[in-house]
Amino acid sequence: MTQTGCPLIDNSVAEIALAEGTLLLYRHAMAAQASDLIEQLVRNVAWRQESITLFGKHHLQPRLSAWYGDPDASYRYSGLDNTPLPWTADLQNLRHSVQAICGHSFNSVLLNYYRDGNDAMGMHADDEPELGPQPVIASLSLGAPRRMRFVHRRGKHPALNLVLEPGSLLIMAGDTQRNWKHGINRTKRICGPRVNLTFRRILKIGT
């Protein structure tokens, strides 16, 4: 950490070619701090394993998660009503660092903890009304590298696979959520833990 409490950052950015969408990747945004950050988060975040309903059956999500943010940053995701926990000092510092890198402000963060290669995230788009028509979502990856897959919602363009290294920050913006779904598949290879933080701005409907 720096004297201000914010992680050291690297502002070098690469634009990832994505038809009908915008992806920016800061490959080494917080690489120098990644090991310390994941240890802190695994230890201090109030992790939960949520249950979702599919075709009338209840299933535990194949990962742990947590939702933090401003008091009014509640929203519904995967059929679950998410009321944010108050920001911790560590998460506030990360929010300030991410905002400094990408130039956007966020009022909430969804954290996902992939304990090993058996944990995954199904294909989805972050297109809930509370996020607005062209949301900017900043996705910070810590821990074991995992492959993020993008699939066009109407099959017009080839799929894209991105390996997200520890300390990398992926910005999804423009029409990305409108036109693409993304997810993290299970892997059979030996894989250590990974924590992903997606910083968002939750809007009041109608604003």
Q: Would residue 85 count as lying in a domain? A: yes
pLDDT of residue 53: 63
Q: Give φ, ψ of 31 to 5 degrees.
A: -60, -35
Residue 181: give the domain boundaries. Answer: 14-200
Torsion of CA 5, 73, 194, 30, to 10 degrees: -30
Q: Would residue 186 count as lying in a domain? A: yes
pLDDT of residue 104: 97
Q: Would residue 9 count as lying in a domain? A: no
pLDDT of residue 76: 75
What is the C-alpha separation between 39 and 57, in angstroms, rounded?
A: 34
What is the C-alpha separation between 196 and 145, in angstroms, rounded?
A: 11
pLDDT of residue 54: 61
DSSP secondary structure letter of residue 85: B
Q: Would residue 135 count as lying in a domain? A: yes
Q: Which two tokens stand for residue 78?
A: 């995967």
Mean pLDDT in order along the chain per 10 residues (207 residues): 62 93 97 96 95 70 95 79 92 97 97 97 94 97 98 97 97 98 94 97 76
pLDDT of residue 5: 66
| CATH code for the domain in which residue 144 is found | 2.60.120.590
pLDDT of residue 206: 52
Give the count of domains, the chain: 1
pLDDT of residue 79: 67
